[in-house]
Amino acid sequence: MGQGRSRDTAYVSPEQSAQPIRKSGSLTSLGKMGRKSTLSTTKRSRSFKENKEAQEKQLREKIETEAKELDKWVSDRPMKYREFVVPSLTDLAAVVVAKGLSSPFDVEELPVTREIKSAIEFRLSPTFDSTIADKKVNFTNGGRSAQYLGKGYSTIVMKTPFGCGFQHGRHAWIVHIDVSRVQGWIQVGVVNKLRYDAKCETVWDGNPHPFRQGEIARRNNGNFHSGRSQLEATMVQETIFLGGFGLRDTLAIKVDFDTKQIQWLKNGEAYGGQIPFESGPLYPSVSLDSPGEGVTLAYYTGPLAL
């Protein structure tokens, strides 16, 4: 059964790269020249703010459109695959409580256990798990946004209730690219339980891009990273067809446990073919490999019972 949109979609303002506004004329200008300079600066400041607001509105509309399509995909599960799964009381309670809260920050005030709080937070909005991340990853926006400040490689995962990951049904989520610096150094996809239990540690094998077993992802140069064995760590045959992704792009990931297939979408359009996987549980993941790179979890939708 589709979860529906029981929470607000989280958004992030696109990064701005505009140069500082420079006043025209000399700093000692007086009279009419000085007034013109002040008016010009005010006008440009207003224009910059209006442009930023327009970008945020466009991004909001874009994510809302994608979210509706993902909701529909999750709920339109073929009848032959549907099984009766009894939701836990915790999950049902989390849905009810989450609908009555206006912000994830309100969860901390509830007189319930940490486990139940985690389940409620998940139903409110998708967030990253800061306990399974490099110390050089900075989390903001209530845990929805992450930025890498170190030098190396760091894989982060989305929180799931009780750390159980996704194991059946259909799940979909959206990742917004806030900052992208080097082509091929951001990976968006999933990790398996073996990698999750190892806290997504990177094992160096002497290569510039270390092999990460248990991570199935698309790199931002279009390549596919299988993570099944070192001989097929990166499959490049689709690069010429896919192109890459970067600043202000959205990556949606659809995981279907009925068909054991993963599909990526770039800005709402299919991004490469469907990729098979063996079994769950799976955990949504992002790898950030260059200082300054950042992403935001913009939306998640899935079944009531995980």
Q: Which pLDDT tens digit goes with each residue over 219-258?
A: 888 777 776 655 554 444 454 456 788 889 999 999 999 9
Per-10-residue mean pLDDT of the chain, 306 residues long, equals: 43 36 29 50 72 86 94 89 74 80 77 82 87 90 91 87 89 94 85 90 62 81 70 48 82 95 94 86 92 93 78
Placement of tokens 């890498």 in the chain: 148
Using CA atoms, how far apart are residues 153 and 287, in angstroms rounded to an integer?
7
pLDDT at 228: 62
Nearest to 118 by CA among 109, 103, 134, 107: 107
Please choose, from the candidates 110, 101, 98, the residue with its C-alpha nearest in 3D space to the C-alpha of residue 3. Answer: 98
pLDDT at residue 268, as a whole number: 93
- According to DSSP H, which parts of the chain are helical? 31-75, 89-100, 114-124, 193-197, 239-242
Give me the residue spans of the domains in the chain: 57-76+125-301
Residues 67/176, Cβ–Cβ less than 8 Å: no
Q: How far is the C-alpha of 268 from the C-alpha of 63, rounded, in Å?
A: 9
Q: Distance (Å, rounded) from C-alpha 147 to C-alpha 288?
A: 8
Given this model, what pLDDT does residue 124 score?
82
Which uninterrupted H or E stretch holds 268? none
pLDDT in tens, 122-148: 888 899 999 888 888 999 998 999 999
57-76+125-301 CATH pick, 2.10.70.10, 3.40.50.2300, 2.60.40.3500, 2.60.120.920: 2.60.120.920
